[in-house]
Chains A and B, each alone.
Chain A
Amino acid sequence: MAFSDLKPVCVNDEESGNTYIIGSVFAVYGMIGSEPPLVYSWDMIRMVSVTRREMVIETAGKSYTIINKLFANTEEILRTIAIIECRQKEFSFGYQHEKRMFPLKSMYTECSPGKESYTGEGVLDDGETAAAFIMLLNFKLVKFLWLIALLIMFVTFGILHLFIGITRDNILYFVPISVASGAIVALLVYMITHAAARAKFKKMADADLATRQPITFVVSRAGFAACESCTYEGRDLVPWSEMDYFIESDKMFILYKNNAAAAYIPKKAFEKKFVGGIADIIALSLEQR
């Protein structure tokens, strides 16, 4: 089991008088003196939902809400999420979460990275990641932009013909007007979608606490890791078989699973001389698109 050595997290809720311990079991200590505690093994948990505000752990008869503010620091929240995701893999309870920038801990397996492995660390750069989002958008959008431009061009040409009528005198004006209108609309669409992509990244970054934390990146023949440094144990990897393909930009490698970006690995996190070797390992392990 990956991340099995994580220290359990103890959260004290003064308002309800409960103390929660999330570790190999989920325990709820009531008010002082009311021991023994209520202890749930993870197979008794029905559902866990993690949002940027709180975590809700549901059992057969009860629901426990732990507000993120109760945790001593961000590392503790991330550790709790890691513990929950690992137990989710083992016990298959329901798990709801917001979109992530990095793979869930349930995708990891414990194995040695081996000799041919590259390790780097760094905080995800907002500008670089937003640029990557836009690049991905361009990938999808570029063919549609041509279509939109052509469509708008023909539509404009048709409208002009319908209302004014094409004659030998004005056709020379109509063609450039149609082309320009197509280009302007395409440009507008491009700008709007860029703004949307940037907003999407910002929303995702705000929702995922890990984006503001130092991340350890590991690339090896056995798999890769992109995990908060405060929880990473050094022997947990996502096997390449978990991913489908990758896209390489000038700043990062973006790994895909089920046509959605599952991990962003910035080249900046590694020493420059290693980037070639990393690219080789990823290219040997996944299809490039």
Chain B
Amino acid sequence: MSAEVKSETIDLNGKSVLLVSVKNGEAAIGTCSAGHTTNGGGTSTQTRLFYIGNDPIINLICPNHGNNQLDKLVSFCPGFQGYEPKIHDALGNSFKKLNDGDSLAAGLSDIFGLLEDGVYAVYMADYYPTDGSGVFFWGGYNISHEVRGTAERNRVIGPVRTFKPCYLIPTEPLDYFAAKVKVNTDEQVKRRRVQGIVYHLSGFHSVLLKGHHGAVSCIDRDIPFSCAVIEKIATPYTDIIMPEPVSEYMPEEPAPAAEDGETATPAPAPVVTPKPVFVPDGITGFRSPSVKIPLAAFPKDMLRLIIEGRPEYKPRQFDVLIAKLGTTRRKAVSNNVLPYSVLEKSEQMPDCEMIESAYAIDKLSDDELNCLLRGDVEHNGEVIVSPNFYSSIVTACNFLQFSDTKRFVDFSIAIMDNPDLVATHEYVARRAAGQSSNKKLYNFFKSAVDGKEAKYEKIIPIAQTFVNRYNEYVK
């Protein structure tokens, strides 16, 4: 039975969202649970696989019984043998069609048929070709390690807000990189509308189905890495409407001024009655990381497809995938190495902590920053970032680093200059040290190193490194 693919654009508060439903899909690209495998590290960890065709590509080890608030251990599967020609062609065709000017729905039609049943949100977004910690994505997953930002539910952002995944995981091993191919892609990326096709995997991370060499060229040439994103919509969400205190009595006019010999009677204080919390009966809708769609906004057949969906699809080739998990591919002998400039630029890209903070906070005013500098976590009776002071400083720093470098530098210097906030000094100094060419920071760190005051005790080693690096940079 061939796959039945339907696409529809819906309007969500003025924003249009492209939804694609796949029925009787081939499930040749997707994820599945591999249970507790022998290499999973005990029965409390669950292993998930991202696969393409008969090849397990990415191994996701989910600790603590697959807790969705915990980051995963991610690694490239050693059993990767290479795509089947059919899948390879489908990816290539889609990529070509998109760059020839086709719409997302038309361009990606070949790929949709290869997905598992469900409803997907499809959109364009810029990706950082890193693992979220400053390592270029292609070589970042050779060893299984905990990758920041891979939790399905991000604890900094919280369960209510949406966020756009922006980090990559490769679907090809690093030895597939060829300098000769990069020479061609260096030119091609300048003309491309779409630089890559990605499939959302977990948290902030998506797998790059097509465009590995393009990613190298883009980062090397400082071209934004715009990708066509495919994101499954399956997670139910419920919007609980929190009460706003409403004053039942408000005096319309100010109390009359006191006449001679009389004392003015104070106006009665407004009576504040909180509205009850509104908990709807049933869920509000279904969501993916980047989009929340209320039930009423879904086309009927798409909603039915989500409701009748299974939590997990075991592909037909499941046994083959499991068997390949234990095998190791013979690597190609290659002298091609990623250009140093690519690795260096990856380090400068926003990391996951910054992106998390940017999504967690809408804005931070100067008054709020001053409150934080005084050691307060509240401004005008409202929590600024978090009731936890250390957490507030960390999030505020990361937010500013992502959104406004100048304010970030001023804020970090103010923190490091304040001996009462010594607990946060080391973290802030590490974050600030990322701005390796900033003159203001150089002056501050230089004075800290030269002055050797007790209040700078914790940041001296970082300051020394920064000063040395800055001096080299100037030379």
Known: A60-B279, A111-B43. A37 touches B310 (CB 8 A): no
Q: Count the A-B residue pairs with Cβ separation under 8 angstroms: how many?
A: 85
CA distance A109 to B234 in the complex (A): 23
Residue of B whose beta carbon sits closest to that of A89:
B65
* Residue A35 CB within 8 A of the other chain: yes
Minimum Cβ distance to chain B for residue A113 (Å)? 10
Option from A4, A25, A60, A62 in Cβ contact (under 8 Å) with B283: A25
Minimum Cβ distance to chain A for residue B36 (Å)? 4
Q: Is the CB of A38 within 8 A of B281?
A: yes
Q: 1/0 contact trace for B214-247 toward A, CB 8 Å? A: 0000000000000000000010101000000000
Contact residues, A89-144 vs B (CB, 8 A): 109-112
Residues of chain B contacted by A4 (CB below 8 angstroms): 33, 310-312
Q: Is the CB of A233 within 8 A of B314?
A: yes
* Residue A189 CB within 8 A of the other chain: no
CA distance A59 to B238 in the complex (A): 14
* Residue B300 CB within 8 A of the other chain: yes
Instruction: Give the total of B residues in contact with A, Cβ under 8 Å.
Output: 29
Q: Specify which of B38, B234, B236 lies most central, judged by the most chain A CB atoms within 10 Å of its CB.
A: B236
Residue of A whose beta carbon sits closest to that of B237:
A41
Known: A1-B66, A36-B296, A110-B35. A23 touches B282 (CB 8 A): no
Interface, chain B (partner A; CB < 8 A): 33, 35-38, 43, 46, 66, 234, 236, 238, 279, 281-283, 295-296, 298, 300, 303, 307-314, 322
Q: Is the CB of A109 within 8 A of B310?
A: no
Contact residues, A124-169 vs B (CB, 8 A): none
Chain B interface SS verdict (over half): loop
Q: Is the CB of A36 within 8 A of B295?
A: yes
Interface, chain A (partner B; CB < 8 A): 1, 4-8, 10, 21, 23-25, 27, 35-41, 44, 59-62, 109-112, 233, 235, 239
Q: Is the CB of A24 within 8 A of B311?
A: yes
Minimum Cβ distance to chain B for residue A278 (Å)? 22
Residue of B whose beta carbon sits closest to that of A62:
B281
A-B pairs with the 4 shortest C-beta distances? A4-B312, A110-B35, A36-B295, A41-B236
Q: Is the CB of A39 within 8 A of B295?
A: yes
Q: Is the CB of B307 within 8 A of A37?
A: yes
Residues of chain B contacted by A235 (CB below 8 angstroms): 35
Q: Is the CB of A25 within 8 A of B312?
A: no
Residues of chain A contacted by B281 (CB below 8 angstroms): 38, 59-62
Minimum Cβ distance to chain B for residue A61 (Å)? 6
Minimum Cβ distance to chain B for residue A36 (Å)? 4
Residues of chain A contacted by B312 (CB below 8 angstroms): 1, 4-5
Q: Is the CB of B298 within 8 A of A36?
A: yes
Known: A36-B296, A59-B281. A5 touches B313 (CB 8 A): yes
Residues of chain B contacted by A27 (CB below 8 angstroms): 307
Known: A39-B236, A109-B35, A239-B43. A23 touches B283 (CB 8 A): no
A-B contact pairs, 17 of them (CB 8 A): A1-B311, A4-B310, A4-B311, A5-B310, A6-B310, A8-B310, A27-B307, A36-B295, A39-B283, A39-B295, A39-B307, A40-B282, A59-B281, A62-B281, A109-B43, A110-B35, A111-B36
Known: A1-B66, A44-B282. A24 touches B35 (CB 8 A): no
Minimum Cβ distance to chain B for residue A123 (Å)? 26
| 5 new A-B contacts at CB < 8 Å, known A24-B310, A112-B36 | A4-B311, A6-B310, A36-B296, A41-B236, A59-B282
Option from B43, B300, B303, B309 in Cβ contact (under 8 Å) with A8: B309
Residues of chain B contacted by A44 (CB below 8 angstroms): 238, 282-283
Minimum Cβ distance to chain B for residue A76 (Å)? 14
Residues of chain B contacted by A38 (CB below 8 angstroms): 281-282
Q: Is the CB of B296 within 8 A of A41?
A: no
Residue of A whose beta carbon sits closest to that of B44:
A109
Q: Is the CB of B36 within 8 A of A21?
A: no
CA distance A8 to B296 in the complex (A): 22
CA distance A228 to B314 in the complex (A): 19
Minimum Cβ distance to chain A for residue B184 (Å)? 43
Residue of A whose beta carbon sits closest to that of B37:
A112
